[in-house]
Chain A
Amino acid sequence: MPEPSPSLPSAQPRELERYAALLRETEHVRGKSPARIAWQRLRKRWPAMISLAFLVVLALLAIFTPLLPLQAPRAVEMPRASLPPEVWNEAGSLGAKSDAIPSEIPVLDKISVKVKQEDDDGNVIEVSKEVDPPNPAIEQLQTGFGYDELDFFTRWLLRCRVHLFGSYAWNSWCGTDHLGRDLMSRIFWGARLSIAAALVATFVSLVVGVLYGAVAGYLGGRIDNAMMRLVDVLYAIPFVFIVIFLMTLLENKQYQETLAAIGINRMVIFFLMIGALFWLTMSRVVRGQVLALKHQQFVEAARSLGAGNWWIIRKHLIPNLLSIVIVYLTLTIPNVMLIEAFLSFLGLGVKAPDVSWGLLANEGRQAITPVIFHWWQVVFPGAAIALTLYSLNFLGDGLRDAMDPRLRNR
């Protein structure tokens, strides 16, 4: 407390003392931050906590899939087609040597080859160049894992896996598919694609929706009205049908070439479309929240205390928006995964040799007819999807309950 200057009237120090006393009092009634309260409340909800744990494990497994001693997801082995699950093999162990995976990746010296080149004058000359020699191990990884198409990190993990486990791989614990590929490995590799697709598409919808909603809510008035009317109109458009329509149009070679030229492939279009599908709800939710927050008394109180725009956005708007956005995210991701599965069902989703859960589930669905009954081909991918969506739903419910102050103590 600053020392009152002697020139002030005598009543002033008494007043100051009173304020100081009030301040001391408030020291004792310090509240907990909403995030901490939410976390404490979430921890008591076991379905949400189990779901959270499951999702964390799932995410870790998906990231480190290349490191796990799984069989090669793309290694076609017709003699092994549609084998039922086998945990222990005849030798009684959990895994065995796989022919599709190299036992080591030899480091080969570069070799020099002669290449024909044009020099500055346009004459064709022969130049010798140092290149990597053909490496049989890498070629094997290429057929088994699609090595060349993988990103740097994944390749590195895959090489680590070969160094760690060699060609040892777990048995087909979930059985094999109709081409003799190991289903468990395909589910793991499919998880990477499915989860990545869900996250990216959700992120697209998040960015678009939050920006649009926040701008509309913050500006208010006529602009808000017009922006939300547009959302209303877009709501009435059956986007899934348009997505299907566009996807089939984009199958056209001409479009694909044009798009590929600017670095857009099928997956990117897929993300953009799904993002476009889900930003509507997000923008509505965010706009509603911003509108409500703008007129909240604590925001006006902060403003009357001289808080700047940035302070208000950082301290009041973002924390309050965050909870609703997080809850909505946990509900969007399942929807995106369902749409991915749906497009796979129609044959418009991920294309082989890539693999996603939707693709696996659709392949599995076809393995169930009155004559053939390869249940594992639908049950395991289906269970992977269902468990993930189940967890996300439970986590979303738990989060919503934990973050809703009105539900406190219930």
Chain B
Amino acid sequence: MMRFVVRRAVWLVLTLWMVFTISFFLMRNTKGGPFDGERTLTPAAKKVLEARYHLDKSLGEQYWLAIASYLRGDLGYSIKMPDLRVSYFIREGLPISAALGCLSLAIAIVVGVTIGVIAALRRGGIVDTSLMALATIGIAVPNFILASLAVLLFAFTLHWFPPAGWGTPEQLILPVCCLAAPYTAYIARLTRTSMLEVLGQDYLRTAMAKGLSPSRIVIRHALRGALLPVVTYLGPAAAGILTGSLVIEQTFGIPGLGTHFVQAALTYDYTLCMGLVLLYTLILYTLNFLVDLSYSWLDPRVKLE
């Protein structure tokens, strides 16, 4: 167990270093500094800025300086908004994005597993067919189309929810639902498939031969095995929700990390972009680690190594 954690931590550091190095050299290799395009900059001001980003030093020196400051937890300044540190954007955006993401993931798991189990138990029936048809729509429609249709219907036509913004619970509902929809659908289908597989296992027959109630058979005997593929999928699902948050935050005007990231990418704000990529890597890696831990907790046969 300890060895597992330590090994994972080492890999995490290596991964972050790899991402950092590749991004760093791709970024700095662009001819001309990031300030060349700015007409308003006087040579003196430019010098000050370049000193701040260490652009006046050699590439090697820049690299070591950057690594040293990252190790101290200092992600530097944004290039396009030089008065703001990258950590400022993270402090502002992370709580919002985390709330949005966690809520969506929770909804996706709870609703998805419930739908999947119901569909599997009613296999071939009208409930199963319609639930799965619905789930497939969730998978087949791109996120931003779903979001804009939802805004059109629930905000502009029915006036149930506000179309955009952040802060009140009503403003939360639409974005969370739109973000969760594809993953709910996917988890539902996954649960259904694995549930059907588990329902065909010999040990389910044993449980039935013991005269247990159907609810106990499903919850105690079947669900655990059926959840394993779902847990495996949680890593990719988390990655997907991170990605989806880019779209959803843009569409609903939520000032989260995703919005900052897209802005940074579109305005070539390399330092901000890189800081956020590293943060996303850290988040995803941690989530994957938690998934592996929960996997070994769910399946007693799995040993962590």
Contact = CB atoms under 8 A, between A and B. Distances in A.
B is bound to A: yes
Contacts of B266: 248, 346-347
A153 to B, nearest CB: 30
Nearest to A358: B142
B179 to A, nearest CB: 13
Bin the interface of chain B by size. Answer: 35 or more
A346 B243 contact: no
A200 interface: no
B186 to A, nearest CB: 10
B242 A245 contact: no
B106 interface: no
B141 A382 contact: yes
B247 A342 contact: yes
A238 B142 contact: no
B26 A386 contact: no
Contacts, number: 132
Output the residue of B235, B243, B262 with the most chain A CB within 10 A: B243
A390 interface: yes
Contacts of B15: 233, 236-237
A390 B31 CA distance: 45
Interface in B1-33: 11-12, 14-15, 19, 23, 26-27, 30-32
B264 to A, nearest CB: 9
Nearest to B23: A245
* Residues of B contacting A: mostly: helix
Nearest to A234: B15
Nearest to A339: B243
A335 B101 CA distance: 20
A5 interface: no
A237 B142 contact: no
Given A236-B281, A370-B156, A248 B273 contact: yes
B303 to A, nearest CB: 15
A390 B136 contact: yes
Contact of B235 (A235, A248, A382): A235
Interface stretch (B74-82, B108-116, B143-151): B143-151
A388 to B, nearest CB: 8
Given A233-B11, A346-B246, A238 B281 contact: yes
Contacts of A249: 26-27, 30, 270
B210 to A, nearest CB: 24
Given A236-B15, A254-B31, A386 B243 contact: no
Interface in A354-374: 358, 361-362, 364-365, 368, 370
A224 to B, nearest CB: 14
A242 interface: yes
Contacts of A254: 30-32
A338 interface: yes
Contacts of A385: 140-142, 145
Contacts of A406: 197, 200
Given A254-B30, A365-B145, A334 B140 contact: yes
Given A238-B239, A240-B243, A370-B156, A246 B284 contact: no
Sort A-B residue pairs by CB-CB distance and give the 7 closest, nearest first: A389-B140, A236-B285, A341-B142, A238-B280, A390-B140, A240-B243, A254-B31
Given A238-B239, A254-B30, A338-B142, 4 more contacts: A342-B143, A345-B247, A347-B266, A382-B142
Interface of B: 11-12, 14-15, 19, 23, 26-27, 30-32, 136-137, 139-145, 148-149, 152, 156, 163, 197, 200, 235-236, 239, 242-243, 246-247, 250, 261-262, 265-266, 268, 270, 273-274, 276-277, 280-281, 283-285, 288
23 contacts: A235-B236, A235-B288, A236-B12, A236-B285, A236-B288, A237-B19, A239-B239, A241-B276, A242-B19, A245-B265, A245-B277, A248-B266, A254-B30, A338-B143, A345-B250, A382-B145, A382-B149, A386-B137, A386-B145, A389-B140, A389-B141, A390-B137, A406-B200
